[in-house]
Amino acid sequence: VLVLQMFLISAEVSGNITEAVRNHTGKEPERMKWIDKLERRFGHIAIHDLMMIIVIGQAVVFLAEFFMPGLGIWSKLSLYMPAVLQGEVWRLLTFIFVPSSSTPLSLVLTLYLMWLIGHTLEQSWGDFRFNVYYFLGVLGAILEKTDEAGIPVYGSEVEQVKLGCVGGAGLDYTPLTVN
């Protein structure tokens, strides 16, 4: 999953190289045809302004938890694999709306940075490619937690890893190693 995300990033960074190859050879380089085919086929289901939706969702969840702490909204929405295995499958999507920030100032800074980076990527890559990138990260977070019991995952942790905003303490992501 992380390899696919890095490929999407490197493919877009090397957009000038792709354009140069296209101008020189008259053909599209082979490495980007698969994402173009996916976009032509499934591009209509891409979520427009995905990062804005996630930022607003995290702000709403934070405010609900802040003003009504007795409801335990964070614990009901976070990715907690034992609960998912007991039938609470909504947690596979709702955890992206649970912020990892616990203070208003850190929330504002985190959400602003998430929106700034995510919106820029979305404008640069387009809705479909950003959706693929983001949901591959969500899938990676879910797969990572399948073997861990009892550790909840919050939505901002996914963005911090994917968008290069790792600054929070206590993130327990397994480093990639090559054997």
Whether residue 100 contacts residue 168, with contact meaning beta carbons closer than 8 Å, is answered with yes
pLDDT digits (tens, 9 = 90+) for 34-76: 778 888 888 888 899 999 999 999 999 999 999 998 888 888 8
Q: Give the C-alpha separation, 61 to 74, whole Å.
A: 8
169 pLDDT tier (thresholds 50, 70, 90): very low
Q: Which pLDDT belongs to residue 170? A: 34
Tell me the two tokens of residue 28: 């599209």
The most distant pair of C-alpha atoms in the chain lies apart, rounded to whole Å, by 64
Share of the chain above pLDDT 90, in %: 17
What is the DSSP secondary-structure string of 124-146? HH-HHHHHHHHHHHHHHHHHHGG
pLDDT digits (tens, 9 = 90+) for 74-118: 888 888 888 888 999 998 889 899 988 788 999 999 999 989 988
Tell me the two tokens of residue 22: 């296209």
pTM over 0.85: no
